[in-house]
Amino acid sequence: MPFVRNAEVVEALGNTYGEYDSTFTSESGQVRADLFRQRDALVAYISFPEGRQIQDVTDKYIAALKQHAAQVGYAEKLRILYSEN
């Protein structure tokens, strides 16, 4: 299952970005998303392994994030923010 609760995220960030939901890792690890519930949206903070840029990613991840958002009550309320590498 690509969505898991990551104790390290909870310990490091607490509720800094909202209520922690889960962490998503794509099939081959090209994409990581830490998901937080903020008011009326589920926000996915996307990051990539060091040296990888968004244009290099071949893993599918947007559909999985949208599906998860719908499953946890945030259909059509997913916001995606990309980190700057």
To which residue do tokens 């994030």 refer? 65
68 versus 85: the higher-pLDDT residue is 68
Please spell the DSSP secondary structure of the chain, one letter per residue: --EE--HHHHHHHTTTTSEEEEEEE-TTSS-EEEEEEETTEEEEEEE--TT--GGG--S--HHHHHHHHHHTT-TT-EEEEEPP-
> Range of 40's domain?
3-82
pTM: 0.90
The domain total for the chain is 1
To which residue do tokens 């946890």 refer? 72
To which residue do tokens 């889960």 refer? 22
8-26 pLDDT, tens digit each? 888 888 788 899 999 999 9
32-77 pLDDT, tens digit each? 999 999 989 999 999 999 888 899 999 999 999 999 999 999 999 9
